Structure 1
């Protein structure tokens, strides 16, 4: 593997991506409650999620901005910035735009898939196709090689997702429009993951909080006209305090916090590893659905969940073994 330019230890990168995926799993339950009680549609909900996430990150910007050093360190930093400022700024704008457009496609297409084919199928198809697209893109664009252990882990993850899809197909059905939207969502996810990884490898990784803030701002701008057409305000008679509370949670934990953790963690580990670890999202969503929403945990669900967990664990261990020489001196 090539040396990474992320300052984050690999162990912490794995943890950050796992925490982000767990938080994402709660977003589906919150969205289900909002669809049920607020009357908001998928595009309007995605708009409010993006706008709220950007607002939270903007409010926290004074605390998350990189600290500047005084004296000689600050002078050297300013001199280097002045020397490469124009080129770096142009590249940074392009990276932020790519992340924002990828995030827009990922989120909007996912909620559209949920509307057309149901939550379970949309989630597992989106996150099942993402590792395949990421592995293919990482191989073709960055020369990444999974190795035998990584390939087996990805195969196991896909088998687990296949069990989940086939096990639920009899109840929810797999509709082609929803499947197409889920694949489009997976493409947006893969683009974000590969871009984050590529920028970290080439030494131009940006501040994760700054990247997330601008990505959500771009997403909100792109979705505003579609949200207006769908209806941005809750339906008459909706529980406004409850809706505001759920939207606030959606904007903070599974949005602002989770994406900042993901962007930071994905820069420290392989792209395919990040995408497979993020499969924790359907696992946490399944657990929440069974425990709090009354959805039954079928044998297919339990089997697929077990295979996914084993695959995620195997791939994480392979990542740590392959980067053991780097993680020792850098571990915090």
Structure 2
């Protein structure tokens, strides 16, 4: 799947959905790292990017049958695009975490993932000539409505003002509901988000990084997906290193077995594997369609919260999940003719 030959359209859709499913597991694992290792979001993002780069570099000879130095020439040929992709990946992650801190999980999620497909649709139209059409607009609108219902449909049993254990994965899940009213997790208390306007701005910045990553991944889609992901992670980790260094690179209790295993999972599954699959799908699937299919991520994250973290969903949240799932399912019909390249109209 990571090799140079493009996937069929159906397999490309499946690859993007699988990538988004892997991303959906990342939030709970990151929250465990906050609790078990005392790491902040910037440091976790740095280790995630570095782990993704190292995992792909180690697997590169098996995937491509050649040394990683073969990527140097490719990077030199398309330096600007790869640098922009790496920066976009880093901005998407870090700005989202900052938005959560200022505006709450629900607001940050709705603004970032909600505006992302719109920005992608506009960018794909202006840059690549991809046409949205009335049906595409209806699918995006339905997906956004489902996302809002899913994220803001609260658990009435959750007392959002009660003291909670800082950094517990369950907080990430339950605060995704309570944050719709401006409540977010901070330290050992759930407190009011202090600067919602700044948080919304950071969420929009995250959406720009997200949209840019999709559009650039589509534009660079003529090469192999593993190489694109590897270079993106390497550039992103370099961008994040100064910030992570300022926050302290290591966990408070040292690199315990638990912390190392969590970091390894975060680097391999929702990073190296997921982005490799995502870039492979982007070689075939139009950018706007890919951005809608990627909304599988909050569906998986919610399913994890219900299955393992004891969260209960309201009727509104269940309805939103069904609407979002329907939008994803109907977003990718087989095209009448296969795109000839990454810039072909979708």
Report the TM range for the smaller structure's normalisation.
Answer: 0.7 to 0.9
Inter-partner Cα distance in structure 2 for 1:34 and 1:308: 29
1:7 equivalent in structure 2: 6
Q: Could you say which residue in structure 2 is the equivalent of 1:17?
A: 16
CA-CA distance at 1:158 after TM superposition: 1.2
Displacement of 1:166 in angstroms is 4.2
What is residue 278 of structure 1 aligned with on the other side? 294
Query: Counterpart of 2:178?
Result: 171
State the 1:182 CA deviation: 1.7
Q: Does 1:102 align with 2:88?
A: yes
State the partner residue of 1:209.
226
The answer for the alignment partner of 1:326 in structure 2 is 338
Relative to structure 1, the CA distance from residue 12 to residue 158 in structure 2 (aligned partners, 3 Å threshold; closer, same or farther) is same
- Structure 1: which 5+ residue stretches go unaligned? 69-84, 328-332
Q: Secondary structure at the match of 1:326?
A: coil
Q: How far off is 1:90 after superposition?
A: 4.4
**SS of aligned partner of 2:332:** helix
Please say which of residues 14-23 and 177-186 is displaced more in the overlay: 177-186
Distance 1:240 1:163, change over 3 A: same
3-state secondary structure, aligned to 2:153: helix
SS at match of 2:326: helix
Contact preservation (8 Å) 1:50, 1:217: yes
SS in 1 for 2:78: helix
Kindly indicate whether the alpha-carbon contact (under 8 Å) linking 1:112 and 1:181 is maintained by their aligned counterparts in 2.
Answer: yes
Residue in 1 aligned with 2:52? 53
Q: 1:184 aligns with which of 187, 193, 205?
A: 205
- Verify the 8 A CA contact 1:126 1:183 in the aligned structure 2: yes
In the TM superposition, what is the alpha-carbon distance from 1:170 to its structure 2 partner? 7.2
Conserved in 2, the CA contact under 8 Å of 1:124 and 1:164? Answer: no
* Alignment match, 1:229: 246
CA positional deviation for 1:181: 1.9
Structure 1 residues 160 and 92: CA distance shift in structure 2, 3 A: same
In structure 2, distance between residues paired with 1:240 and 1:62: 30
Q: Secondary structure at 2:6's aligned position in 1?
A: coil
| Whole-angstrom CA distance in 2 between matches of 1:269 and 1:301 | 29
* 1:178 positional shift: 2.5
Contact kept, 8 Å, 1:6 with 1:268, in 2: the verdict is: no
- The structure-2 alpha-carbon separation of the partners of 1:66 and 1:14, relative to structure 1 and needing over 3 Å to count, comes to farther
CA RMSD of aligned residues (A): 2.5
Query: For the structure 1 residues 121 and 164, does the alpha-carbon distance in structure 2 shift closer, same or farther, using more than 3 Å as the test?
Result: farther
Higher helix share: 1
Q: Give, in angstroms, the shift of residue 56 of structure 1.
A: 0.5
Of 140-149 and 27-36, more deviation after overlay is shown by 140-149
Task: Return the alpha-carbon distance in structure 1 between the equivalents of residues 52 and 219 of structure 2.
Answer: 25
Distance 1:259 1:277 in 2: 14
Q: Taking structure 1 as reference, are residues 154 and 131 closer, same or farther at Cα in structure 2, changes over 3 Å only?
A: same
* Structure 2: unaligned runs, 5 residues or longer: 155-175, 183-195, 340-346
**In structure 2, what is the equivalent of residue 131 of structure 1?**
117
Paired residue for 1:35?
Answer: 34
